[in-house]
Copies of this chain bind each other. A is one copy, B any other.
């Protein structure tokens, strides 16, 4: 029987979930894995949250001072579950300097301060587990590290933000506009009062930065990722997508082409028959392409107390069991990737133009598209008695730059009332 002495810092929704699992599964962990998890200390700023925890872990030290936990030589593994950057960074630095193993769900911290944290871990010969930081209960990090270790990952494609996927699902099912669906997401607890971190794609970019770096073993900095959120998507786009046999998803992708890395977060249209299109509500998924394993999909709960806690506990057991026996072999620090300037692959595009109602509108749009080598595959214009008129064009495969150039020109025309929308069709996913 191996004993792992654990210090848990942060008794929010994930922290309390971890304690629940450790209590309920203690005897099966001892019986099946021959591991005893001894909760040495539990730390929270608000001690009243820990009232019910005291009786479940009568031997644990309850404290509101993380300094008595992080770096405490009687503790092997620190679970950093406070979130945010400043205090969490202090906790990690103290823990790693004391050669404690650290498990964290803190993607913001890792994508902003990862470099110095990983370096400190290396210098102190200890490890950091962060499965819970990306995709909640989906074991994407373990799959990249251990299951595709001998393979050559060509690309990762993720629906990694539950809030935006919930909003897009609501918009489709209940025929809502973005603003209405956002309010529902806020009421359901899926969106913050200020939702910009989620809906602008920043959260997805954090996650893409973390898993992309691990997959390619090249550093993909946050600022190298082209990011576009879902705030411009309307009920009309969702409806047109459905008519065309597609579903709109906020996709984070990172892939390699000719040695260069393309990293983007943007709303795209996924064919309805693709498994990715069945990822609804707050569910997350990662689709990968590997040179030998081929394509694969991982899908599951991307957030929530118990799903995230399950990933934290799995890291705790994995790294806890390795501690003191297995030489440190996991790399987290990489040299910088060469980032490709723009999207190099051609694709079909959905374009929506909000126009005045007068003759010649379509001709003007078509002329600009044609002069930029954008060939039209189909056009839809629903019957309407009043302005604005919505004109939808689906193109043949063309480059993103030709679309951008065309739209800049078209949006300067007098016939256009609102900025035009372009959404990529991911036919080859």
Task: Give chain A's interface residues, CB within 8 Å of chain B.
Answer: 17, 21-22, 24-25, 28-29, 32-34, 131, 137-139, 142-143, 146-152, 217, 273-275, 277-279, 285, 290-301, 304, 306-307, 309-311, 313-314, 316-318, 321-322, 325-327, 329, 331
Contact = CB atoms under 8 A, between A and B. Distances in A.
21 contacts: A137-B294, A142-B143, A142-B146, A143-B143, A147-B314, A148-B314, A149-B314, A149-B318, A151-B310, A274-B278, A275-B275, A275-B278, A275-B297, A277-B278, A285-B297, A291-B306, A292-B309, A292-B310, A294-B301, A297-B299, A297-B300
A394 B263 CA distance: 48
B296 A300 contact: yes
A143 B142 CA distance: 8
Contacts of A147: 131, 139, 142, 311, 314
A298 B297 contact: yes
A264 to B, nearest CB: 23
Contacts of A275: 275, 278-279, 297, 299
A308 to B, nearest CB: 9
Contacts of A298: 296-299
B32 A331 contact: yes
Nearest to A143: B139
B329 A25 contact: no
Given A294-B306, A298-B299, 19 more contacts: A22-B150, A25-B152, A32-B217, A148-B314, A150-B310, A150-B313, A273-B278, A274-B278, A275-B299, A290-B310, A293-B301, A293-B307, A294-B300, A294-B304, A294-B307, A296-B301, A297-B299, A322-B326, A325-B325
A131 B293 CA distance: 13
A326 B329 contact: no
A34 B307 CA distance: 33
A273 B142 CA distance: 28
Contacts of A139: 143, 146-147
A146 B329 contact: no
A318 B147 CA distance: 8
A134 to B, nearest CB: 13
Given A275-B278, A306-B294, A310-B290, A21 B150 contact: yes
